Structure 1
Amino acid sequence: MSGAETMASVALRPWPASARDALSKEDLYQQIAQLTTERGHLRGITEKALQDEIDAGKELPEDVMEAVEQEKKEEAPTARDKLEEIHRVRNEMATKLEWATFSAANALDLVAIILSKDPSKNLESAYSHKFKQQGVPPGSFGLDKTDPPERPADRQRLADTAMRQQLVMKGSRMEALDWATDNLLKAATKLETEVRKETKYWEETLSISKKGWSIQRTRKDGRHAPFAVRYGLPEAGNHFKARGLAPLRMDKDGSIILDPALALKPKTLRVRISDNGKITGASNLPTQSDVDESAIEKSIQLARDSLFEEEVFHEMSMETRQLLAYGVELRNSVIQLAAPGPSDRSKHRKILIDCIARDDNIPLGQDGSQDWLAQNIAEFLRLLLTHEHHMRLHRRSQIPPPLTQHKRQQSTPPLLRTLLSISSHLDAIDSLHAYLNVVARTLKSAGLELALEASRETSWVKLTDIIKESHRKDLSAIDQLLQTFTRPFEGTTALSLPSSNGAQSEHITVSTRTYIGQPHFGTEHKLTLPPSLISVLNLSNDQQRQFKMSSTEDVKSYLDWNLSLDISHTVLSKEYPGRTVIKSKDPRVCILSNGSKKGSHKEYAVSIQLENGILKATASNNMHLVTGAIAESFVWNGSPGHPSLREKVKSWVDRYP
C-alpha cells in the first residue's frame, strides 16, 4: 500500500488529553456544542459509532498507531469518563426540555379551558394533542376572583380613598369646565375673526370680479390663496400668458394682497425721434398713481398694462432679427429704426424704441417738436399688437386646417415690418410727389401745363367704402381698418404730358407698391407710358409700356427723360409743323428756317434738358454745329417773370430766317 492510499483512509480525531488537561464543565459544554455543529444532533453519536471510527484508524502507519495506542492505554479511563459525562449531560438536557414542554403545554391548555367559558370564542386549535385525547368538555373549568373579608382598618382606608377620589373628580370636573369655557371663548373669538376676514376677502374678490377681471380657483391646497385673477390677455404669447395669473392672497386682516412680483416697477413703451443725433420728440410716459391695498383694481390694471407693454417690446425685439437688412438694430436694449424724411433736417431721422420704468423722468433739453409723431407711433404699435390678438382669436374660432406631421410655426406679429413699410412707402411717395410738384411749377413758369393727380395709398382714399362693402362680418370695423396696414401699400401718381390738351390728355402713371415681405421686400415703382411716348421711343411691343424700378431716384431720372422727350419731340414739333427734323432718340429737335429749300443746311437745333426740377433749353444753328460751340441757352427754375419756352425758341428761330 502506497503512502497516498494510506493517507486517503486516515480518520482525523482529536489527540488524547493527559490527566492534568482534563476538561472542565464549561469546556465540556463547548465540546458538546462543537460536536453538535460538526456531526449533527447528539442522537446519532453512540459508543459503537465512536468505536468504529477509532478502529478505522488502524490503517495508519505503525509508528503513529503505536503512539496512539500508547496514549489510549494511558488515557483510557479519562476518555471513558468524558463519554459518561456526555451521556449524563444529554439526559439532563432532554429531561429539562421534556419538562419545559410539558409545563408550557399544561399552561396553554389551562388558559384555553378557562377562556372556553365564552361561547363566542373557538379555541379548539389551542389545545395540545394529549389534552384533546382526554376529552375535557369546553367551559368545564372556571376562574373566579373573590375579595378577602374586610377588616375595620381596611374599611376606613377605603372610605378615605373614596372621599379623596370624589374630591379629585370634582376638582377635575371644575378644571375641565374652566378649560372648556376658555376654549369656547377662544373659538368664538377666532370664529369671529375668521368670519370678518372671510367677509372682507370675499367683498374685495367680488369687487374685482364686477370690474370684469377673470377669477379662477387655484389648487386645492392653496389655503391662503384659494383664488387667482387672470389679468393677462388671453391671446398673448405663451411666456406672457403664463405670467398673467396672480394669486389673491389673504392678509392678516382679510384684505387681498397680490403676488410680490406685481409690486415690481411697472414698465411702459417709449418711442423717441432722433434727427441727426438730436432727440426732437418722445412719447408721453403715463404717470404712476399711488397704489395702496384698498385700490386692488388699480394694482391689477397697472400690472396688466405693464405686461402688455413688455409684450409689445418683446415681439419687436424678436422681429429685429429678420429686419437687419433694412437697417433695424437692437443696441443696449434700444431698437433703432431708420425713417428718413423728405426735408434735410429729417434726412438722417431714426426712431428709437425701448421699454423703461413708468416713473423714469424724461431728460431735459429736448426739442419736443416731434412729440406728436413719437406718440402716434407708440399708440400705433399698441394697436397693432391688440389687432394681432384679435386675429389669433379669429383664427382659432375658424375650422382648423388638416392635420400634418409638421408643426406649424407661429410667425411673429408684423409690428416693425408694418412701421417700416409705412415709413418707406410714405418716404418714397412724398419724395416723388414733392419732386413732381417742383417739376410742375418749373414747367408752368416755362408756359407748359402739367396736371398731377396723386394718392399716397389707394385703400386709404376709399377706406369707408371698403369697410361698408366688406363681406367679413366676423371682424369689427377697427380690425378691418388695422388689417389694411398689414397688407402691401399701393400709391398711384398720374402725370399728364405737357403736349396733351384737355380733350385728349395722356398721362404717365406711376404705381408705387411697398411691402416688407414676399414677393418683393421694399418699395417698387411701376411706370406705365402713354401711346405718344411709346411712338417717340419707338417701342414695338405693348408689354414694354410698363417698366419696374426699385429706386425713387431712378423714377425721377426716367420721368425727366420722358418729359424732355415729350417737350422736344411733340411740343416743339406741333409748334413748327413741317419744319422739325428728329434725328435721334435724344430730347433734341432740328428746326428748319423759313424759305429753306431741300438740301439746305440752314437749321436750328434745340435741346431740352429737365433735371432736378430745372428746365434748360439750348439752341445752336448749323454754323455752331460745325464747331460744336453752344449758341444760346435759357434756364427755368420755377420763378415767375420769365418768357415761356415757346417764346424763347421762337426768338431763336426767327433771328436767323
Structure 2
Amino acid sequence: MSDSFSLPLRPVRKKIDDTDTLPIRIAQINAQRGSFKDVTEESLSEEITALRVSGKQELDIQGTEESGNNAEDREQQLFTSRSEMLEFATQAQIEACYALDFVSLALSKYTPRQVEASMTPYVKQKIPSGSLGIDRIRTPDRTEANKKDIELVSKGWKLESFSSAANNLLEAATRLQKEVAAETKYWSEVLAIKEKGWKICRLPRERQTLGVQHGFLEATPVFRDRGLAALRRADDGSLYVDRGIHATPPKAVRIRIQDDGNIVGVSQPARIKHDDNTSIQETLIHQARDSLFEEELFYELNREARSLIRHGVETTQNQILFQLSDNRQVLVDLVPVDDAAASDQDMTQNLPANDLAHAIACSIRLLLNHAHRKNHRRRTSIPAAISIKKKPTGEYSLLQPSIAYLQHSSHLQWLTSCLHNITATLFSAGLKYRYWKTKPPSKDTQETVTSQEKSIPLVESLVDSFLGVQETRMAGGFCTQNNWYKIMVRTDLSPSALGTEFVVWTVHSALPQKHITQRFGTREDLKEFLLYLFTLDIVHNIPFRGSRKPVSSASGASREETEATVHGADGDDTKSTTWEPTFAEDGEITASMPGEKYNKKLKVTLNEESLELLCMSLSSTTGMVEESKYIWHVDETKGEPHTTLQETLRRLEAGG
C-alpha cells in the first residue's frame, strides 16, 4: 500500500494573472509620458528622487517586494512578456515587409531593376512589375459659385427628406386608419358570432389566432379535432372561416327504401332556414357543423354495420344495406348536398315510402345525439375505480334499434296476418277461433328504483327504452275448453344475439305433454307449427259415436261463440258413426258403423288460405273407393251462405 499513489478529485486551479499585458503597458506609457524618445537617464533619476521625497516610492518598493516573493510568478511573467515581445516584433516585421512591397511595386513602373531587389519572391511571382503607379495631382480650388451650388444641393436634399418623411407619416396614418377600421369590422363580426352562442377560443397550434368550436366535444377524437375552425381576417377586415386542409363540400346521410329493385322512398336532408339578419359566416359555420355531424354519423354507421353482419347488414362501396322484409330493403349512403342533389330531391318528393325513410334518418340522428349525451354524462360523473383492464370503446347503437324495430314490426305484422287468415279460413267453415294481443309483463320494482336513483333525464330514459329488446306477446284459444296458446315475438340484434325468435307456449289435451314450449327462428317453422296445432284441435274435436254434445270453445268465449263451434249432428240419431283419429298429426280420421269394418276416411288439410276436407269411402255396391272433397277459403267469410264443417259431417254420416 506504501507504493500506491492518490489522485486529487478536485480540478487544479489555474492561477489568474491580473497583470496587464505588454501592449497595454506600452499604450499606458505613451498616454502618460509621451514617446520613448523623450525618456533619458537624467529624467528618470530626477523622477525617482522626487518620488522618494514624496514617500510614494516606499509603497512601490513594498509592492515590488511583495510581488517578488513568488519566484515562479516572476518567471512566468518573464516568459509571457518575452513571447509577447516576439509576437509584436514578428507582426511589425510583416507589416514592414508589406509596406516595402507596396513602395517597391509603386516604384517598379519607373525603376524596375533597382526595386526588384527589395521585393519579396511572392510579389515577384504573383504581381507583374509596373502594374501600380503613383501620380501627383493638384486639388482644384473651391470658388464661391461651387460653394453656393453645394449649399443649394444640400438644401434640396434636406427639403426632399422632409417631404419624404411627411409623406411617410401620412401614409402611415392612412394605413393605421384602414387597419383600425378593418380590426373594428373583424372584431364586431367575431362578437356577433359569440353572441349567437358559438364558443370562441384560441387555436391550439396558433395561439395568436381565434377559432370557433362548431363540432361536438363528445364526438370521436377524429371528428372532435376537426370541429375547430379558424376565424381569419381578410384584407378588407371581413371575417372568413378557415376549416384547414380537412375542408370538404357539405355532405348528408341519405336513406333510400328499395322495393323489388325500385326506389319507393328517399329521405330529405334537413335544411336550416335563416332569417335575413344571419350573416354569411354564421351560415358557413352551420354548414360546417352539419356536414361534420353527417360525416361522423356515417362513420359510426359503418362501424356498427361491421358488427351486425350476422344479422344481414352489408357494407359495399360506401353504402350500407339491410333487409326490412322479403322484398324491401334499406340503402344508406353519404352524398354531397349541392344543386344537383336539390333537383333530385324535388323529383323524389312524392314517393310513397318517404315517411319511412325520413323516420329512419331522424332516428339515427337522434341516437347519435343520445350517444353524445351519454358520453358527456359519463365524462362529468364521478370516475370509477382505477383498473388495469382498459374498457373497450363499443360501437354506438344507431342502426340496431331501427332495424330491430322495423324487423320486429314486420314479423308482428306477418304473424297477425297469418293468424287472421287461419282464423278467417276456419270461420268460413263455421269454426270460431279467437286471438288477441296481451300486455307485456311488468318490470321489476327494483329496476324502477335503480333507474330513479340514476336521475337520468326523461328524454334519455325514453330513448333508452327504444334501445332495448323488442318484445310482443299474443295469445289465442282453441275450441276445446282450457286449451290455449301464447306466442312471444322477441327481436334482439345485439352482436351476440340470434335476431328474431318466436317462443310458443301451448296447453292442449291432445298433446303427449299437455304443456309444451317451442322456440322457432323462422316464420315458416312457426307457421307450420301453428297449422299443426289447429289441425290437431280440429281432428280431436270431431265428435265420437255421433255425439251431439257441443264442444266448448276457448276460455273467455261467449255463449254464442260456444254454440257456433258444435261439431256433429243435432238431428236424427238413426245411425251412429264412430270417428276415431288414426294419425291426428297428419289430420287423418277414420269412421265406421257398429259391427262393420272401417268404411270411411277423412283427411283434414289446413293451410293459411284454405281448409280442405277429403273423404274417401268404400262403396258397398261396386267395391270401389269414392272420393269427395270439400274446401273452405279465407275469402268466404262474407257473401252468400255456405256449408259449414258441421253440416258437411252430418251429410257424410247420413250418407254412410
TM-score w.r.t. length of structure 2: 0.65
Q: Tell me, what secondary structure is at the counterpart of 1:634?
A: strand
Answer yes or no: is the 8 Å Cα contact 2:542–2:579 preserved in 1: no
Q: 1:196 aligns with which of 181, 186, 192?
A: 181
CA distance in 1, matches of 2:177, 2:449: 62
Q: By how many angstroms is 1:115 displaced?
A: 6.6
Q: CA deviation at 1:589?
A: 4.1
1:621 deviates by 5.0
Mapped to 2, the partners of 1:228 and 1:370 lie a distance apart of 42
Structure 1 residue aligned with 2:607: 611
Show the counterpart of 2:499: 522
1:536 counterpart SS class: coil
Q: State the alpha-carbon separation in 2 of the partners of residues 581 and 474 from structure 1.
A: 65
Name the SS of the counterpart of 1:362 in structure 2: helix
Find the partner of 2:510 among 503, 511, 536. 536
Amino acid across the alignment from 2:332? I
1:423 aligns with 2:406: yes
> What do residues 157-185 of structure 1 show as CA deviations (whole Å, max 9, x unaligned)?
9xxxx999999999898777656544443
Deviation at 1:330, TM superposition (A): 2.5
**Structure 1, residues 25-65: CA drift from partner, whole Å, max 9, x if none?**
xxxxxxxxxxxxxxxxxxxxxxxxxxxxxxxxxxxxxxxxx
State the distance in 2 between where 1:334 and 1:417 align: 16
The residue identity in structure 1 corresponding to 2:485 is I
1: distance between equivalents of 2:453 and 2:619?
Answer: 73
1:357 to 321, 328, 336: 336
Deviations 1:126-174 (A, max 9, x none): xxxxx9xx97769x9xxxxxxxxxxxxxxxx9xxxx9999999998987
Classify the secondary structure of the residue corresponding to 1:258. Answer: strand
Determine the C-alpha separation between the residues in 2 that align with 1:358 and 1:644: 63
**Cα RMSD between the aligned structures?**
4.3
Specify whether residues 292 and 166 from structure 1 end up closer, same or farther in structure 2 by C-alpha distance, changes over 3 A only: farther
Instruction: Return the match for 2:235 from 235, 238, 252.
Output: 252
Which shows bigger deviation, 207-216 or 647-656? 647-656
Cα distance in 1, alignment partners of residues 23 and 456 from structure 2: 96
Q: 1:192 to 1:219 in 2, by over 3 A?
A: farther
C-alpha distance in 2 between matches for 1:630 and 1:238: 80
Residues 308, 495 of structure 2: 8 Å contact kept: no
1:272 is the counterpart of 2:256: yes
Distance in 2, matches of 1:333 and 1:106, equals: 87
Name the residue aligned to 2:650.
650
CA contact (8 A) 2:437 2:474 kept: yes
Shift of 1:196: 1.6
| Alpha-carbon shift at residue 252 of structure 1 (Å) | 1.2
| Structure 1 Cα separation of the partners of residues 321 and 600 of structure 2 | 57
Unpaired stretches in structure 2, ≥5 consecutive residues: 1-19, 34-43, 61-141, 545-550, 552-566, 570-575
- Paired residues for 1:575-654 under 5 Å: 575=567, 580-586=579-585, 587-590=587-590, 593=593, 596=594, 600-601=596-597, 605-621=601-617, 629=625, 631-638=627-634, 639-640=636-637, 641-654=641-654
Which secondary structure state, in structure 1, belongs to the residue aligned with residue 254 of structure 2?
strand
Q: Is the 8 A contact 2:252 2:337 kept in 1?
A: yes
Give the AA of the match of 1:537. Answer: L
Aligned residues: percent identity? 28
Match of 2:25 in 1: 109
User: Do 1:433 and 1:454's aligned partners in 2 also have CA atoms closer than 8 Å?
Assistant: no
Report the equivalent of 1:43. none
Which among 470, 491, 495 is matched to residue 489 of structure 1? 470
User: Does residue 564 in structure 1 map to residue 511 in structure 2?
Assistant: no
Measured at CA, do residues 169 and 114 of structure 1 come closer, stay the same or move farther in structure 2, by a change above 3 Å?
Answer: farther
Distance (whole Å) between structure 2 residues aligned to residue 489 and residue 282 of structure 1:
26
Given the two structures, how large is their TM-score scaled by the length of structure 1? 0.65
Q: Which runs of 5+ in 1 are unaligned?
A: 1-103, 118-130, 141-156, 341-346
Return closer, same or farther for 1:507/1:398 CA change in 2, 3 Å cut-off: farther
Compute the displacement of 1:442 (Å).
1.1
Whichever residue aligns with residue 246 of structure 1, its letter is: A
Quick one: which of 368, 377, 380 aligns to 2:363?
380
Aligned to 1:85: none
**Structure 2 residue 301 is matched with structure 1 residue 331:** no
1:302 to 1:572, Cα distance in 2 relative to 1, 3 A: farther
Moved more, 348-357 or 466-475: 466-475
Question: 2:489 corresponds to which residue?
Answer: 512
Which residue does 1:348 correspond to in 2?
327
Query: Cα 1:199–1:105, aligned 2, differ >3 Å: closer, same or farther?
Result: closer
Residue in structure 1 matched with residue 457 of structure 2 by the alignment: 476
> Which one of the candidate residues 284, 300, 306 is aligned to 1:299?
284
Q: Tell me by how many angstroms 1:581 deviates.
A: 3.5
Deviation, 1:438, is: 0.8
Asked if the contact 1:618/1:630 (under 8 Å) is kept, the reply is: no
1:424 positional shift: 2.5
More displaced, 579-588 or 558-567?
Answer: 579-588
What is the SS of the residue equivalent to 2:472?
strand
1: CA distance between counterparts of 2:302 and 2:623? 65
Q: Which residue identity does 2:336 align to in structure 1?
A: A
Q: Secondary structure at the match of 1:426?
A: helix
Counterparts in 2 of 1:212 and 1:628: CA distance versus 1, 3 Å:
farther
Does the CA contact (< 8 Å) of 1:606 and 1:619 recur in 2? yes
Deviation, structure 1 residue 429: 1.4
Deviations 1:202-257 (A, max 9, x none): 2111111122211111258554xx21011111111111111111000011122211
How far residue 620 of structure 1 moved from its aligned partner, in angstroms, is 4.2
User: What does residue 443 of structure 1 align with?
Assistant: 426
| Matches for 1:70-219 after TM superposition, within 5 Å | 108-113=24-29, 181-219=166-204
Greater shift, 578-587 or 322-331, is seen at 578-587
Structure ID, larger Rg = 1
Cα distance between partner residues in 2 of 1:105 and 1:214: 69
Tell me, in whole angstroms, the C-alpha distance in 2 between the residues paired with 1:329 and 1:217. 42
Cα separation, partners in 2 of 1:239 and 1:652, compared to 1, 3 Å: same
Q: Deviations over 1:489-547 (max 9, x none)?
A: 111111221334xxxx64311101111125532111100012xx1x311217x5xx211
Instruction: Determine the C-alpha separation between the residues in 2 that align with 1:189 and 1:572.
Output: 113
Deviates more, 1:369-378 or 1:435-444: 369-378
Task: Tell me how far apart the structure 2 counterparts of residues 171 and 323 of structure 1 sit (CA, whole Å).
Answer: 89
Letter in 2 for 1:423: L
- In the TM superposition, residue 333 of structure 1 has moved relative to its aligned partner by 2.0
Superposed displacement of residue 369, structure 1: 2.0
**Aligned partners of 1:371 and 1:467: how far apart in 2?**
38
